[in-house]
A and B are shown apart, each in its own frame.
Chain A
Amino acid sequence: MATTNKLILEPGLTAKNYWRDLYHYRELFMILAWRDVVVRYKQTTAGAAWALIQPLMSIVIMTLIFGKLAGLPSENGTAYIIIVTTAMLPWLFFSNALTLASQSVVNNANLISKIYFPRMIVPASSIIVSLVDFLVACSILAGLMLWYQLWPTWRLLALPALVVLAIAAALGPGLILTALTVRFRDFRMIIPFIVQFGMYVCPVPYSSSYLHHKLITKCGEALGGKLFLLYSMNPMVGVIDGFRWAIYGGSETFYWPEFFLSIVLTAGLLFIGTVYFRKTERAFADII
């Protein structure tokens, strides 16, 4: 008997080969992601066009309300709609990923209770779905850039890295919320609030520099600065600022310390999410 496939099961020992297992189950991961992508727009007449229509509507409405009615300023002389789009696309990716991931394990209860695989595959594959939607929606941005004759610079090369950062930012809290939803279905009700509320604490209809300026003038240099630092702890602030910088140069001052804070927090949340998920996933089949 070959000893290569030897498997020992002991209470609390499942964690040992976890990462090797995760690699071993990569085909299942890919096929589950593929399933989720294919199924998402099945039996809809517009099909994958929904991935364009939804963000487009949000962008248009937000531009009309905040740009035209409320008169929020643009920055860098860029059209206001570009400001909104560069933030709306990563934000929608984040909120979709969070919503889909948190429901994913519960929605796949039949799999969880009948088959073994590293459970992390399930929320991860739903993040792939949001990523595909995001990539489709990026064509809106491309269209707008053409229209406004906004030619990309070398900074566009940073975009893939920023997408990775966005994935990490969604995966960390996503894993925590997934594990919590398995145990407490209350989170099914809570997550829509988080997502709805979250958009306003992210620089979507305004730019970070606008907020910075407002905070400094309203609360003074010291307090305003501190508040801005607190604000920047939101991982998506870094991602959105990065996107704007990559597309049109962003604000004249890029808030580097705040950006790094954002990255550190993303990494921290990812770490906590992974640890918490792994700690609870062993009991998923029992409590789901």
Chain B
Amino acid sequence: MSDTVIRVDNLSKRYVLGKHGHADGLRHVIHDFATAPIRWLKSRNLQPVLTNGIKLPPINQPDTQEFWALKNVSFEVKQGEVMGIIGRNGAGKSTLLKVLSRITEQTEGRVEINGRVASLLEVGTGFHPELTGRENIFLNGAILGMSRMEIKKKFDEIVAFAEVEKFLDTPVKRYSSGMYVRLAFAVAAHLEPEILIVDEVLAVGDAQFQKKCLGKMHDVARGGRTVLFVSHNMAMMKTFCEAIIWLNQGKMFERGLPQDVINRYLQSGTCESQTVMNLKDHPRNQGEGVKLRITQIEWLTGLPLFHSESVKARIEFEAYTDVDEATMGIGFSTLDGVRLLTYETDDPGERINVKRGGRYNTTLEIESLPVPPGYYNLDIGSRSGPMQGVDYLPGCLQIEIAPGKKTQGHQAKGGAGVRLPSHWNWENVTL
């Protein structure tokens, strides 16, 4: 009992999705206020008279919609436990972290927390571009809940970790994005709360720095601290966490050991099984999918894909302006987002000039898929000419690659990247 540090009891959070969004204008409030007496009269007098006492549904249907981001979530976290939270986008992971870190208030339920909480929902919260690196360390530290003394004590360590010694007195707006992120993470990494709440913040910086961050997180996790952790990086979740909570549509779906829960999660509906996938309404970054938009991918050879077997897929797209020398490509990435393999029309030198308003498709044929069995993120993208991207959907789908007929035992394990045919010559050089 005494070693429970977080106890969450029937936690629910409701959002009201208004017709006008959250920041509804003053006009609507004035309108509501002005029409309130009429509505009141209607509801009190007219309705019973009209319906002879039979209760009809209200005349004024509210133009709002409820949405439960969390519904009856209960769990406990023990002292020193590293707990991972997984789930698809919109499953309520971030909302849960926001309630636990007191940014927003739950609608129902109760949370009990024993200990000093620091939450890291974003790297570099509150960084001010006009302030220098030195000033931002103090600002960001204070925002994350460190005292001035604490920051002073760790200042040199933070600077060394971020590798920004030379630029300490330069405004951070002059920093490269890499330096900025390194400094931001360095401050966060030196937090020493009793309970740490982290949301998907490790996907920052270059590969080398990511490694350093992971190392630091390992130290934190091993240091007996209680950590609550959200990530889409399943490999990392498996190595870090001692327990996993799986949220699905705001509800607690499963809780258990990382290996078990993550495997079931990956095998559940998260991987696509429909051979035709609509990509038209998939969210894009700004500027992507404007001139040319990838609308669909169809797996002509079915799903799942099989290792060492042929794959045929058709990508459909629409052009909204004329695009010269359009190319199309797909990539396979690990679930941590590391690209393993790319197929592109540009490789055999295939480009197409598309006309405004046209609809096109291109069919990809792979003779033998070299990606080992496992679960992968699929990236789909299009460029115009060699450099200019026009549409890009990184990690838009998760697909499964199953062992094929030709897959050998040692290849089925995965984790060795892409295997391509090669020739070896043995020589015995024993004298």
Contact = CB atoms under 8 A, between A and B. Distances in A.
A186 B101 CA distance: 30
Given A1-B114, A31-B139, A286 B119 contact: no
B138 A7 contact: no
A226 interface: no
A35 B171 CA distance: 13
Interface in A96-147: 108, 110-117
B142 A9 contact: no
Interface string A6-24: 1111111010000000000
A5 interface: yes
B166 interface: no
B125 A115 contact: yes
Contacts of B171: 42
B143 interface: yes
B417 interface: no
A5 B15 contact: no
B125 A114 contact: yes
Contacts of A113: 103
Interface in B112-133: 112-117, 119, 121-122, 125-126, 128, 130-131
B188 to A, nearest CB: 12
A68 interface: no
A117 B99 CA distance: 13
B3 A38 contact: no
Contacts of A5: 113-116, 194
A35 B115 contact: no
A252 interface: no
Given A9-B106, A11-B108, A285 B115 contact: no
A145 B107 CA distance: 59
B335 interface: no
B148 interface: yes
Contacts of B25: 184-186
A70 interface: no
A81 interface: no
Contact of A6 (B15, B107, B112): B112
Contact of B113 (A9, A110, A185, A282): A9
B102 A9 contact: yes
A114 B115 CA distance: 20
Given A5-B114, A10-B110, A11-B108, A39 B128 contact: yes
Contacts of A2: 114-115
Interface string B126-158: 101011000100110011100110000000000
A9 B103 contact: no
Contacts of B126: 108, 110-111, 115
Interface size class, chain A: 35 or more
Interface string B1-33: 011010000000001000000110110010000
Contacts of B147: 27
A116 B139 contact: no
Given A28-B142, A43-B130, A286-B15, A14 B102 contact: yes
A53 interface: no
B5 A1 contact: yes
A215 to B, nearest CB: 34
A287 interface: yes
A9 B22 contact: no
Interface string A221-257: 0000000000000000000000000000000000000
A31 B125 contact: no
Nearest to B101: A116
Contacts of A3: 114
A280 to B, nearest CB: 12
A10 B10 CA distance: 11
B130 A116 contact: no
Given A1-B2, A6-B114, A282-B105, A39 B125 contact: no
Nearest to B104: A285
B79 interface: yes
B111 interface: yes
Given A38-B135, A42-B130, A115-B126, A183 B3 contact: no
Nearest to B148: A27
A114 B26 CA distance: 26
B98 A1 contact: no
Most A-side CB within 10 Å, residue of B26, B79, B110, B142: B142
A7 B130 contact: no
B264 to A, nearest CB: 30
Contacts of A32: 139, 142
Given A110-B125, A115-B125, 20 more contacts: A1-B2, A1-B114, A1-B115, A5-B116, A7-B112, A11-B107, A27-B142, A27-B147, A39-B131, A43-B130, A111-B125, A111-B143, A116-B101, A117-B143, A184-B23, A185-B25, A186-B26, A282-B105, A283-B104, A283-B105
Listed from nearest, the 8 A-B pairs whose CB atoms lie closest are: A116-B102, A9-B111, A184-B26, A31-B142, A7-B113, A42-B130, A186-B26, A114-B125
27 contacts: A5-B115, A9-B99, A9-B106, A9-B113, A11-B107, A12-B105, A31-B139, A31-B143, A32-B139, A39-B131, A110-B122, A110-B125, A110-B126, A114-B125, A115-B121, A115-B125, A115-B126, A115-B143, A116-B119, A117-B143, A183-B23, A184-B23, A184-B25, A282-B104, A285-B98, A286-B22, A287-B23
